[in-house]
Chains A and B, each alone.
Chain A
Amino acid sequence: MRVPLKWKLYTAVGRYLPFLKIKPPEVDRKAAMTLRPGRNSLLTWEAQESGKTLLKVPVNLQSGRVKKRLAQWMKVPNERTVELDEVGAYVWELCDGKHTVEQIVQLTAGAYKMNRREAEVSVTMFLQMLHERNFIGFYKRTAKKARKG
């Protein structure tokens, strides 16, 4: 995913913040980088030989009650797949509730020899995208103590 590098990070990460109920702009990048993304337990995934990963997303993950009923009644397949590219798959594996955003940025930058800011911008935007789709949530502290939101 190509994202403008001029993008202010706190804006990008800041969009996660309502989830944490912390007021911007007091929350600096520093705080956002300590969050720990964790995968939604309703999702399963399959790593492919090409390096890509297929996420199997229950159809009713995002939809409301009416939609869910309607889907059951119309016998819509109850799963859809989403393909993550190689870097996406790498980041996905790291969303285990243990790694912080900062650590994921560093690991991705190292693995793909990306410039720090390039990694920061694309990883945070990617995480934001996953979060908007309910594929991941953010833990504020360690995985054990945290409550999934």
Chain B
Amino acid sequence: MNQSTELQAGDVGEEEMPSLDTALQTVVGWQGVRCVLPPDWNVAGFSMERESGYLRIDAPSDSSLTVQIRWTDAGAPDVKTPYHVLAKRVRKLLRRPEPKQAQIDLKANLDKFLKEIAKQSKKSKEKLDAHSKPERVEREDGKRRSINFSWSGAGKGQGKIWHCQVCNRVLVAQVVGMGKDQNAIAAIASRLFQSLEDHTEDGFDLWALYDLQVGIPDGFRLESQKLLSGYLHLAFQRGAERIVVDRWGLANITLKKFTVAEWFANHAQVNLRSLQKREETLANGHNITRFSGKLSVLSRLVAIRQARFSLRGVPTRFEGGVWHCPESNKIYSVQIWRQTRAEKIWEEVLSRCVCH
């Protein structure tokens, strides 16, 4: 767990090298939002939706600090009538631009947010005392407008609200703690806002929680998840194409009974017997057992049904693989149902899957 050499950017000076080592920091990624926090901070709440959602990340149990992030897609209409959906489709079809939106009123959004906090404070019979800084433009490209704020009432909070022109998200993030945590809140807030991003630059969303880290092409949407102690499962869908990432803990115990390939055969969502099997080595040195081949007509139909009868991107090929990471005592598997032309997707996802 203490080695992070493979994960470090090769061309940065040694001292500035950003490390993804979990002993030094926690990387969190969810629905395009990502940030870096101190070790042992963990996701404690999240929403499944992408357009508007939230994420809560808690400090280890010896602290009461928590990070809350909320976002909404400023482009999404408040009411989703069939007319709105249809109009958007027609505009896309006719290649007409989306109607220009009025500039997002950040201050109004912030006031609304602080009102909610005031309500919570009132419940615990505390008066809310909130302060905000003037709005400013951030980043070199000037594509983010933001307001910093802080409050004290039932606890203390320090945060920031912003609108990003690139992804059109309005995001509000804050670090919350008890009154006595003032300094710790400030320290965490500074770390949070140095790293917090609301969209990806390279076309791959980082999905990272509980030591799992994987990059998934940003056209894929999270379709289902299981986050249990000892077993993590994330499934993504793009039309009828599908990516499934599984991670099992306590590999040392599992491997007393099964080989890695047997374990995968028991859990894979396709029949592996009809696929080509080969052994390969990953860039991080682990041996991976790979299965690939054409999907049967039946499997394709299953994929279409899973995609709620979407005929977009009907997969024709399956790529799957399983490996044991002794460093983290985990078994990982990735399964991809892809279109013929999405040849690179296996390499792209695997190279972004960090196991130790």
Chain A interface (Cβ within 8 Å of chain B)? 1-6, 8-9, 28-30, 33, 51, 85-87, 102, 105, 112-122
**With A6-B45, A30-B61 in contact, do A117 and B253 touch (Cβ < 8 Å)?**
no
- Residue on A with the closest CB to B228? A2
B44 A118 Cβ-Cβ under 8 A: no
A102 B229 Cβ-Cβ under 8 A: no
8 contacts between A and B (CB under 8 A): A29-B61, A29-B64, A112-B250, A113-B328, A113-B330, A115-B210, A118-B249, A122-B229
A120 B61 Cβ-Cβ under 8 A: yes
In whole angstroms, what is the CA distance A112 to B252 when docked?
A: 8
Q: Which residues of A contact B40 (CB under 8 A)?
A: 116
In whole angstroms, what is the CA distance A117 to B327 when docked?
A: 18
A112 B210 Cβ-Cβ under 8 A: no
Q: How far is the CB of A28 from chain B (nearest CB, A)?
A: 6
Q: Tally chain B residues at the interface, Cβ within 8 Å.
A: 28
A87 B42 Cβ-Cβ under 8 A: no
> Interface digits, B17-52 against A, CB 8 Å rule (1 contact, 0 not)?
000000000000000000000011011111000000
Q: How far is the CB of B64 from chain A (nearest CB, A)?
A: 6
Q: Which residues of B contact A121 (CB under 8 A)?
A: 229
B1 A114 Cβ-Cβ under 8 A: no
- Residue on B with the closest CB to A125? B229
The residues in B between 323 and 345 inclusive whose CB is less than 8 angstroms from any CB of A are 327-330
**With A33-B62, A102-B61, A116-B60 in contact, do A3 and B229 touch (Cβ < 8 Å)?**
yes
Q: Which residues of B contact A33 (CB under 8 A)?
A: 61-62
- Residue on B with the closest CB to A3? B229
In whole angstroms, what is the CA distance A12 to B44 when docked?
A: 13
**With A113-B1, A115-B211 in contact, do A30 and B249 touch (Cβ < 8 Å)?**
no
B231 within 8 A of A: yes
Chain B interface (Cβ within 8 Å of chain A)? 1, 39-40, 42-46, 60-64, 210-211, 227-231, 249-250, 252-253, 327-330
In whole angstroms, what is the CA distance A122 to B229 when docked?
A: 6
B contacts with A: majority SS: loop
Q: Which of A86, A87, A102 contacts B62 (CB 8 A)?
A: A102
A118 B45 Cβ-Cβ under 8 A: no
Q: Which residues of B contact A8 (CB under 8 A)?
A: 44
B64 A30 Cβ-Cβ under 8 A: yes
In whole angstroms, what is the CA distance A5 to B43 when docked?
A: 8
Q: How far is the CB of A48 from chain B (nearest CB, A)?
A: 13
Q: Which of B228, B328, B329, B330 contacts A3 (CB 8 A)?
A: B228
B249 A5 Cβ-Cβ under 8 A: no
- Residue on A with the closest CB to B325? A113
B210 A4 Cβ-Cβ under 8 A: no
In whole angstroms, what is the CA distance A87 to B230 when docked?
A: 11
Q: Which residues of B contact A115 (CB under 8 A)?
A: 42, 210-211, 249
Q: Which residues of A contact B328 (CB under 8 A)?
A: 113
Listed from nearest, the 4 A-B pairs whose CB atoms lie closest are: A113-B329, A2-B228, A117-B42, A118-B229
Q: Which residues of B contact A86 (CB under 8 A)?
A: 253
- Residue on B with the closest CB to A113? B329
In whole angstroms, what is the CA distance A115 to B329 when docked?
A: 11
A122 B230 Cβ-Cβ under 8 A: yes
**With A30-B64, A33-B62, A86-B253 in contact, do A4 and B228 touch (Cβ < 8 Å)?**
yes
B249 A112 Cβ-Cβ under 8 A: yes
B227 A6 Cβ-Cβ under 8 A: yes
Q: Which residues of B contact A5 (CB under 8 A)?
A: 42-43, 210, 227-229
**With A5-B210, A87-B253, A112-B329 in contact, do A118 and B230 touch (Cβ < 8 Å)?**
yes
Q: How far is the CB of A89 from chain B (nearest CB, A)?
A: 11
Q: Which residues of B contact A102 (CB under 8 A)?
A: 61-62
In whole angstroms, what is the CA distance A72 to B210 when docked?
A: 50
B61 A87 Cβ-Cβ under 8 A: no
